[in-house]
Amino acid sequence: MAGITPAFITAFLAVGSAMALGAALANQGNTSVVPECVQACSHLAHIFGPDAYSLGNANVTLWDAKQQGTHSACWVQPSSTEDVSTILSVIIDTSCRFAVKGGGHARDPDDSVSAGGVTIDMQKMRTVEVAPDQKTAKVGSGHVLLSLYEGLEKYNLTTLGGRVADVGLGGYVLGGGFSHLSPKYGLAMDNVFEYELVLPNATVAIVNQETHPDLYFALRGGMNNFGIITHFTMRAVKQGHLLGGVRAYTADKRDAILEQAYELTTSWKNDTNMAFFYSYGYDQERDDFTLTVSQEYYLPVLSPAPFKQLNRIPFEHSTVRLDRTSRFSIESASATPPGGRNLFATVTYSPSADLDRQIQDIMAQEIQSLEKAPGFYPNLVIQPLYEAAIRSGKERGGNAAVALLTVLWKNAEDDERMNAFAQEWVERSTATTKDAGKHHPWLYVNYASKAQDPFLSYGEANLQKLRRIQKEVDPQGVFTSDGLCRGYFKLQ
Ligand SMILES: Cc1cc2nc3c(=O)[nH]c(=O)nc-3n(C[C@H](O)[C@H](O)[C@H](O)COP(=O)(O)OP(=O)(O)OC[C@H]3O[C@@H](n4cnc5c(N)ncnc54)[C@H](O)[C@@H]3O)c2cc1C
C-alpha cells in the first residue's frame, strides 16, 4: 500500500460506490451496519481489493458462537504495518466503529469482531524474524500460537506462548500470557522487548524502554487501549522436546490432587523448569466431576522430581509424553473446539489447598441450583502465578493461585442465567478468599468476566498512570469505551 495518504483516501469519498456497497450490505441481510462504515468499507474495498477485503467472515476462525454471530460491515486483512496505518486512517476519517481480530478467542460481540463496523483481521501478519544471536525474534501480531511455535521450531527455538494452538498471539500477549515458561521468565508480556504499534492517530511508533518508556509500560497488560500492535520482538529460548500432556482422574482422587497441586505451587516453586495447572470439571450427562492435571517440564525428562508423587496417583487416561510445544498445542486445541457460547471469570488468592476445595465446592453448589442447560459444561482451572516469575510476580504481590471459571453452553436463551451463575461464583469465591485472609487483588484480564474490572486490580497508582498515558497518546479517545474501538476491556 505504498504511498497511500489520508488525503488520497479522502479523495475516494465516492458517493456512488458507497451507495452500491450499502445496497450489497442490505442484500446480505446486514441491517445493523453503522452508516459511517458504508463509506469506510467503500474506501477499503477500493484500496485493498478482493484479496484482502470482504463483506463476510468466511475462512476465519472465531472461537465463540456469540462472536461468530456478529455481523461487521466489512472485513479487511492487512499484510503490513503500512496497511494497518492506512486502514486506521480511513476509519478515523469516516468515524467508523471497528474491532481488531487476532486469534478470535474473545467471547463477546465487538471484542474482536465489530458489530456493524470494520473488523481488522490480522491473520496475514505472521512473519518470524530471528535475531542473529537467536535471543529474540520479531514476530507478526497476527500469529496464532501454532504458527508461531512452528515458525520458531525451525530454529529449535520457542517463546512465551500459551497452551492452545489457535489462540492468537495478539490478545494473549496484550493481556499478560501464562506459558509453560512463565515460572522461568514471567508472563509473556514481561518478555516483549519491543512493540511496533500503530498509534490512535494512525502513525507508527517503535516502542521500547528507551524510545517510549510510558507506552512500553502501558502495553504490558494494557490490552487493546493504546493502538494496534503489528509486531512484537520477544524473548526466544532454545527448545527441543519437552514434557507435556494431560492426565485425567476420577472425582475420588480430588484430595490427593489438591495436596499435590499445593505441593507443586509451594515446595516445588523453585524448580522453574516445572509448570502445571489442573482443572475440576462437571459432566452434566453423568452428573459427576472429573479432574485433569497438565504437566509441563522444560527438559525432555519423562518423570521429573516434582511430578513423582503426582505420578503415583492412579489415573483414567494420560497423554503425558515428550514432544514438541507445537504438538502439545494441537492436542489442547482439540479439547477446546470453537462453536459454543462461553464465558470466563476469575479470582486470585494465596495458594491454599483448602481454598481450592472451597471454590470448587462453590461451583458445585451453584450448579445444583441451575436447571439443566443444553451443552452446559463448567470447568474450574487453577494455576499458579509463581513468585519466581521475576518482575511480574513481585509486582503482583508474590506467589498466587489464579482460578479461571470457564462456562460453556449452547443456546442464547441461557446466556443470562450462565452470566448469573458465573457472577455468583465470583462473589462467593471472592468473599471466601477474603474471609481466609488470602485474597489477592490481581485479576488476569484475559480470564476476567465483563462484570469484573481487571484494570482496577492493577492498583490506583498504576491505573492513574495508564489513564494519563492513554490521554496523551489518544486525545480523541479512539480506543476508549466511547470511541471507535470499544470492545473487550476498556480503561475508561
Ligand atoms: C481455548 C483457550 C485457551 C487459552 N489458553 C490460554 C493460555 O494458555 N494462557 C493464557 O494466558 N491465556 C489463555 N487464554 C486466554 C487468551 O489469552 C485470551 O482469550 C486472548 O485474549 C485471546 O487472544 P486472541 O488474539 O485469540 O483473541 P481476539 O479475540 O482476537 O483478541 C482479544 C482482544 O485482543 C485484541 N487484539 C488482538 N490482537 C491485537 C493487536 N494486534 N493489536 C491490538 N489489539 C489486539 C482484540 O481486539 C481483542 O480485544 C485462552 C483462551 C481460550 C479461549
Let me know whether 324 and 376 are in one domain.
yes
Residues 282, 161, single domain; the answer is: no
Name the domain count of the chain: 3
Q: Rounded to whole angstroms, how far apart are CA atoms 178 and 294?
A: 13
402 and 259 fall within a common domain: yes
The residue range of the domain holding 49 is 14-121
Question: Ligand 1: distance of its center to the CA of 436 in Å?
Answer: 32
Pairing label, strands 74-76, 118-121: parallel
Considering the domain architecture, whether residues 282 and 387 belong to the same structural domain is answered as yes
Alpha-carbon 187 to chain mean position: 12
Q: Which protein residue has the closest C-alpha to ligand 1 atom 6? A: 162
What does each C-alpha distance from 415 to 341, 374, 412, 459 come to in angstroms? 8, 12, 5, 31
The greatest distance separating any two alpha carbons of the chain, rounded to the nearest whole angstrom, comes to: 72
pLDDT digits over 378-427, tens only? 999 999 987 655 455 455 455 789 999 999 999 999 999 999 999 999 99
CA of 21 to the centre of ligand 1 (A): 31
One domain for residues 61 and 151: no
Quick check: CB of 171 below 6 Å from ligand 1?
Answer: yes
For residue 446, is it within any domain? no
Is residue 57 included in any domain, yes or no? yes
How far, in Å, is the centroid of ligand 1 from the Cα of 104? 7
Q: What's the 101 CA to ligand 1 centre distance in angstroms?
A: 9
Name, in order, each residue with C-beta under 8 angstroms of 396's C-beta and a sequence gap of 6 or more: 385, 440, 442
What pTM was computed for the model?
0.93
Q: Is the CB of 141 under 6 A from ligand 1?
A: yes
Q: What is the pLDDT along the chain (492 residues), one digit of tens a residue?
A: 333 333 333 333 333 455 555 555 554 545 467 788 999 999 999 999 999 999 987 778 899 999 999 999 999 999 999 999 999 999 999 999 999 999 999 999 999 999 999 999 999 999 999 999 999 999 999 999 999 999 999 999 999 999 999 999 999 999 999 999 999 999 999 999 999 999 999 999 999 999 999 999 999 999 999 999 999 999 999 999 999 999 999 999 999 999 999 999 999 988 999 999 999 999 999 999 999 999 999 999 999 999 999 999 999 999 999 999 999 999 999 999 999 999 999 999 999 999 999 999 999 999 998 888 999 999 999 999 876 554 554 554 557 899 999 999 999 999 999 999 999 999 999 999 999 999 999 999 999 999 999 999 888 999 999 999 999 999 999 999 999 999 999 997
Same domain (yes/no): 298, 393: yes
Record the cell numbers describing residue 204, joined without a space.
507508527
107 and 189 co-located in one domain = no
What CATH number does residue 185 fall under?
3.30.465.10
Identify whether residues 306 and 329 lie together within a single domain: yes
195 ligand 1 Cβ < 6 A: no
Check: CB of residue 373 under 8 Å from CB of residue 401.
no
**In ligand 1, which atom is closest to the CA atom of 64?**
53
